[in-house]
Structure 1
Amino acid sequence: MSSTLPFRRTAALTAVLAAAVASACSSSQSGVATSAQAPLRRAIPADSGERHLTGLTQLTDGGENAEAYFSADGQYITFQSTRDGRTCDQQYVMRADGTGLTKVSRGGKTTCGWFLPGSKQLFFGATHHADSACPPKPDPSAGYVWGIDPYDIYVTDIDGKNMKRLTNYGVYTAEGVLSPDGKRIVFTSLKDGDLDIYTMNVDGSDVKRLTTTPGYDGGPWWSPDGTKIVYRAWHYDNEKDLQAYKDLLAKRMIRPNRMELYVMNADGSDQRRITNLGGANFGPSWTPDGQRIIFSSNHKNPRSRNFDLFTVKLDGTGLEQITFNPEFDGFPMFSPNGTQLIFASNRGATKAGETNLFVADWKD
């Protein structure tokens, strides 16, 4: 979700991460099944170092495609994409083999989709209540920043019908992930003036704020047993930097060049930092056993657009690099049965800025 800002949330660094929170515009017609490129089998060179991945399959071909997440039964995938020439993301659903592609959003910009129990409905962040067109992009004079667009969370059937608005804050509210028991949603919102993490029931009731430290907290993801939440955050240790963050936030922007990973209990207690790597560490989720976090990072070269996937234990030890692609790999999620890993990547791109979805068999 995650993220989903351009965070949970994609190509060249700007395009890549921006699609993570970006989302769609263009056609306002939802529930439209469109043709999809047949999945492409890609070999992983024996000397690539990617020993955990086999049977790599490319599921999309063209545009910026990101934040692909499985339904609980593993039969469907939802993701956001600028496919077909769109200038910001729309939300799509397809079968896990890449067939049956359907656009489910209505315009504006979307991000961070997730399936509800039963795989017949999903929720995602969208801005079409504010405008059917794409939100304006941030002023380039501000440097590399993400726009904090006015998402609210919507629920729809997987064919795009029966859409309803779940939140009504009118400010950035997105990056939703469903709890393993299917009862609550964890999400990020600006509703109280800072980017913080909240939970609510699946009907939007009983909203609880989990984080309160000034600075960005986002990209939350439940552990497989539902007892913990991993997230990305950056908190400021001096008033000057904190004020610069607040000034940008007032303009609905954030500078995403520094983020570390944190974990907390599902009720918000025992918040603690996991990583101290430097650079941008984002898009965290969990290994199936709940003992490690898998995430994307450029900490080896923080000024580069080369993000790779890593795993780390909850105490910050045991850091292991999973992908070695020289461009972008991000937004990892394991399939419900733990046998496959889906992620977004620039590998194999035929045009500059393309980010496609890949799924690979996982080998411990």
Structure 2
Amino acid sequence: MKQRSTTPVSHKQATKVALVVMAAVVAGAGIFQTAGTVFARDYEAEIKAKQQEANNYNSQAARLGEMAATLEEELNRLTAQVNALQSQIIESQNKIDSLKEEIKNNEAAINRNRKTMGQILSDMYVDDQISPLEMLASSENIGDFIDKQEQRSSLQGSLNDKIKEIKRLQKKLQDNKAAVERTLKDQETQKAQMAAKQAEQAKLVNDTKNDQAAYSSLASQRNGEIAKLREQQAAENLRSLPRGSVPSGTPGGGGYPGVWANAPLDAYVDPWGLYTRQCVSYVAWKVHSTGRYVPHFGGAGNANQWPSTTSRHGIPNGSTPRAGAAAVMMGGSYGHVMYVESVNGDGTITVSDYNLGWDGLYRNYKRSSSGLVYIYF
């Protein structure tokens, strides 16, 4: 039965997983019979056990989610290192290419200077075939002869020095090239090792996320099983009502404030964040009218949310009926909540509520005390 809060509950289809096949918790149709005595099925115990499993699975999923995030940070760090090494490799390769070009240019310069020196040496050889007296005779004067001799000697020395300098530079370039090649080799080795670590880390991240998804799927499966148990519990709760039917309702009964009781269904939101003339609003008001604390439900006030919502405020709950407690039927999309007026000696309780028949009316009746969650404000 629909019991609205300020935020209706969304419905999601339970995700099916094939990782774990769970044995049935309860055999048969939900009624246990021993030595002729029939016991009602304890839905709350079953639900509590499945909820504990779901909580454990969610806890594992959350832990794996945190682990996956940490592993992903490490993967990002490794990826950044691999990218940095790749940038260094490109830089080293560019240096090698530049040095190769310089070496090539120097080799060309050496060849050009060697050709020049060869020509000079050839000319000098020709000159050397002429005796000093003939050279002196062919010169205009003694000074011209001396200048020619000095020029030949200076040019030869200059060319020798030039070739030596180019060769020295060439050796330096070759040494630099060899050093950069060694650096490049080291960088490529480091990159290969880092890439291997990166691949291992990526696999670990993927495996962890898969495990997280598996646990989340198991939790979803348990929640689906809980929803089915709630539906079965709701059906049994309705069967436990007098004569198997909904009692007649009374407009504006139970002392519920007239401004709410006489207004259309859901016309207002009460001080606890609940829609008026709904079961939740009536019971919240009823508990509050006895001087006890009722928290604001903050969008989590559907009847079947009450046990968990009130628990967060330190309000206990259990399966033992008590006068003054809120009695919650957990089944259905929204559940239903009643105020326990009294606990009777025949296993029944007398309750009051609103909107049991989807009509916004007040009711006061007896019903079975079993299969309910009691909240002890």
> What is the TM-score normalised by the length of structure 2?
0.22
Between Structure 1 and Structure 2, whose CA radius of gyration is higher?
A: 2
Q: Which has the higher contact order (CA 8 A, sep 6+)?
A: 2
Which structure dedicates a bigger proportion of its chain to strand? Answer: 1
> What is the TM-score normalised by the length of structure 1?
0.23
Which structure dedicates a bigger proportion of its chain to helix? Answer: 2
